[in-house]
Amino acid sequence: MAAASELTLSEQLKKLTPSARAIVQAARRTVKAAGSGVTEITAQTQPPRSRSYMWKMIRYARGGRNVVGIGAFREYAALVFYRGRELDDGSGLLQGGGKDARFITLRAPTDAEQPAVTRMVRKAFKLGG
């Protein structure tokens, strides 16, 4: 059983709003379909205290390297690409200007199922693993 401060992924999903839960589940399907042989790692954390912070829920690794993560806000989610700065983004979907990471905002489950999103996830696994 998880420690009092940790939650399993199933417990985390139950704490999301129905709309955010559906988006996270769609994002999980997209990542798993695009990245064969990946390891899904649950963050096992509590939701952040502030609504403006992303709840970092899941990350996907290949060969011990983090490639893609999924985080949730109250009504939407995001795919985080740990080496996003290095990705060739012909789609214009990648956002952010951090040192390495970039993200794609997902406002509906169908956003996670877009061919351009799937291509970006595949590119990330090719680059990162």
Q: Indicate whether 4 belongs to any domain.
A: no
The per-residue pLDDT for range 15-30, each reduced to its tens digit, is 899 999 999 999 999 9
Q: Indicate whether 2 belongs to any domain.
A: no
Q: Indicate whether 60 belongs to any domain.
A: yes
Q: Indicate whether 111 belongs to any domain.
A: yes
Q: Which of 85, 10, 16 is nearest to 40 (CA)?
A: 10
pLDDT confidence of residue 88: 78
Q: Where are the beta strands (DSSP E) in 6-121?
A: 39-42, 55-62, 65-72, 77-81, 102-106
- Give the whole-angstrom CA distance, residue 70 versus residue 77: 7
Give the number of other CB atoms < 10 A from CB of residue 38.
Answer: 20
pLDDT band at 129 (very low <50, low <70, confident <90, very high): low
Q: Indicate whether 29 belongs to any domain.
A: yes
Q: Indicate whether 3 belongs to any domain.
A: no
Q: Indicate whether 53 belongs to any domain.
A: yes
- The dihedral built from the CA positions of residue 52, 42, 114 and 97, taken in this order, carries a sign that is positive
Q: Are 60 and 36 in contact (CB under 8 A)?
A: no
Q: Indicate whether 100 belongs to any domain.
A: yes
The per-residue pLDDT for range 81-113, each reduced to its tens digit, is 999 999 977 878 999 988 999 999 999 999 999
pLDDT confidence of residue 55: 85
Number of domains comprising the chain: 1
The per-residue pLDDT for range 43-66, each reduced to its tens digit, is 877 778 887 888 889 999 988 899
- Structure pTM? 0.89
The boundaries of the domain holding residue 112 are 9-128
Structure tokens at 101: 């990471």
pLDDT confidence of residue 7: 75
- Phi–psi pair at 69, nearest 5 degrees: -130, 160
Q: How many CA atoms are closer than 13 Å to the CA of 8, on its beta-carbon side?
A: 4
The per-residue pLDDT for range 113-124, each reduced to its tens digit, is 999 999 999 999
